[in-house]
């Protein structure tokens, strides 16, 4: 499956790093969301991410409107893992 993996690094103390992952589809069933979470956990296996820290969102805007994604904010200072695109700002969410 073709996944889009995005990483916005920590900007300052009040703005944590953000990791987002989606599959470029409108699929949003439970199994799909669990697959996205499992992929993110694999990519960030060196960090303990609690279940309640994952957010399930839908994009707004023009380019990816309606696509379901999984997002997590990380309070530490991290680098983007291999395969993640570094971005400077987050997309609008519904």
Domain that holds residue 57: 4-86
Inside any domain, residue 57 = yes
Total number of domains constituting the chain = 1
> Residue 28's CB: how many other CB atoms inside 10 A?
15
Among 93, 86, 88, which Cα is nearest to 71's? 93
Inside any domain, residue 91 = no
pLDDT at 56: 96
pLDDT at 62: 81
Inside any domain, residue 41 = yes
pLDDT at 20: 96
In this prediction the pTM is 0.89
Question: Average per-residue pLDDT in the chain?
Answer: 91
Ranges in the chain, pLDDT < 50: none
The structure tokens listed for 8 are 């916005």
């Amino acid at each position: 499956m073709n996944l889009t993996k995005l990483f916005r690094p920590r900007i300052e103390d009040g703005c944590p790093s953000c990791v987002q992952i989606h599959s470029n589809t409108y699929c949003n069933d439970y199994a799909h969301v669990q697959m996205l979470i499992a992929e993110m956990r694999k990519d960030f296996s060196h960090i303990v991410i609690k279940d309640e820290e994952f957010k399930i969102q839908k994009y707004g805007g023009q380019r990816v409107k309606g696509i379901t994604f999984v997002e997590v904010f990380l309070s530490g200072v991290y680098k983007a893992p291999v395969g993640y695109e570094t971005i400077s700002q987050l997309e609008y969410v519904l």
